[in-house]
Amino acid sequence: MELNGFAQTEIEPALRALKQVALANGSVTDAERQLLEILAEMNGSRVEVVRLAPISPAEVAAAIRGAHERKRLVQLAILTAMTDGEVTPAQDAAVRALAEAVECDERSLDVLHDFAGQHLLLCRYDFIRRAAPTFFGELWEDQGFRGLKKFFGAIAGFGKIDAELGWRYKQLGLLPQGTLGRAYWEFATRRKFAMPGEHKGIVEEFVYHDMGHVLSGYDTNPEGEVRQAAFQAGNRRDDGFVFLLMVMAAGHLGLKINPNLTARGLFQPKPILRALWRGATCKVDLTYRWNYWEVVERPLEELRHEYNIQPVEPGPGVQ
């Protein structure tokens, strides 16, 4: 998922539309202002948000014609509506009017609408329905219901013990210092994480998430988890927005959908968009059918260079 896909003639109308969403609840907050300024910078522009003039949904539709750009704009409008920590009915209505004008049926609109109405049970349902094809697609493609049963059984602590699989992962600790496999073993062992195949161990199909932590350098505390999710949002080549939606819903608005991440106020535009940019510039999609076993013996820093994973700390601006 990239955020710099707007043409130079499109970025100003896009930012004006996003400002209208922010203004729907009465004012543009500092976080919303930062979000718009960073999005402008990522698209090669600079703006003074206070000077962005109002724009109607019809004018936006006339200025932005491509289906991909329209979809990204609606997704960014959803993000903007969530940025200040609450979603008002007026913001929900503004986003829906924009989506209707640009003829974009983004499934995350239901989640936004649920937040606006404070229908949290329905919100969890709509989020899971929105996220399942991306989060569980590979597992479903390969194993069907059996794979889903295995995943939810492991979450509940009733996963099948597989000693051979567990030993395969624990033996990564025998690899030389500095390799990806050894770094993963150290990452899991320091945090007392059970290995795949062990009691309460993560299912193997989701090890990519922790391997991604190792490569990206983000911690497993709440701040690190939302940045890792943002990294995955950028890294995912198909429908990365769902990872960003999880950041906002679970890590910023406190929706109980992830047992490892339920918090409020964790969305900070600069580090989150920095993490997303790092994921987008990575040359390999680490979230879908990436075979880490092929590279566990490779030096970690060598892989970071090969994959073009940029440093955690930014230079000027978001990059």
pLDDT bracket for residue 93 (50, 70, 90): very high
Domain match, 103 and 147 both: no
Cα distance from N-terminal residue to C-terminal residue, the chain: 16
Confidence (pLDDT) at 146: 74
Do 190 and 103 lie in one domain? The reply is no
Same domain, 140 and 285: yes
> 14-37: per-residue pLDDT in tens?
999 999 999 999 999 999 999 999
Flag whether 256 is in a domain.
Answer: yes
**43-47, 150-154, 168-172, 240-244 — which is least confidently predicted?**
150-154
pLDDT one-digit tens code per residue, 268-285:
999 999 999 999 999 999
CA distances from 110 to 114, 120, 227, 243 (A): 6, 12, 24, 16
Amino acid 276: pLDDT: 97
- What pTM did the predictor assign? 0.92
- Residue 72 sits in a domain of what CATH number? 1.10.3680
In angstroms, rounded to a whole number, what is the distance separating the alpha carbons of residues 216 and 247? 17
Query: What's the mean pLDDT in 89-107?
Result: 97
Instruction: Examine residue 185 and state whether it is found in any structural domain, yes or no.
Output: yes
What are 195's two structure tokens? 């290995």
Number of H helices, E strands in the chain: 15, 0
Checking if the pLDDT of 156 tops 70, the result is no
Task: Please check the confidence at residue 319 and state whether its pLDDT lies above 60.
Answer: no
* Domain annotation covers residue 3: no
Instruction: Please check the confidence at residue 295 and state whether its pLDDT lies above 60.
Output: yes
Q: What is the pLDDT of residue 316?
A: 40
- Residues 83, 143, single domain; the answer is no
Specify the length of the chain in residues: 319
Task: From 93, 118, 143, give the residue that closes a domain.
Answer: 118
State which residues form the domain around 291: 134-307
pLDDT at 251 exceeding the cut of 60: yes
Q: Please give the C-alpha separations between residue 151 and each of 62, 146, 192, 263, in angstroms, as whole numbers.
A: 46, 9, 20, 23
123 domain residue, yes or no: no
Residue 206 has pLDDT above 60, yes or no: yes
Q: What is the pLDDT of residue 143?
A: 78
Q: Does residue 128 fall inside a structural domain?
A: no
Over residues 236-243, the mean pLDDT reads 94
- Which of 50, 84, 118 represents a domain boundary (last residue)? 118
- Position 144 scores a pLDDT of 83
Using alpha carbons, list the distances in angstroms from residue 267 to 133, 216, 238: 24, 18, 23
Q: Write the single-letter amino acid at 153.
A: G
Mean pLDDT of the chain: 93
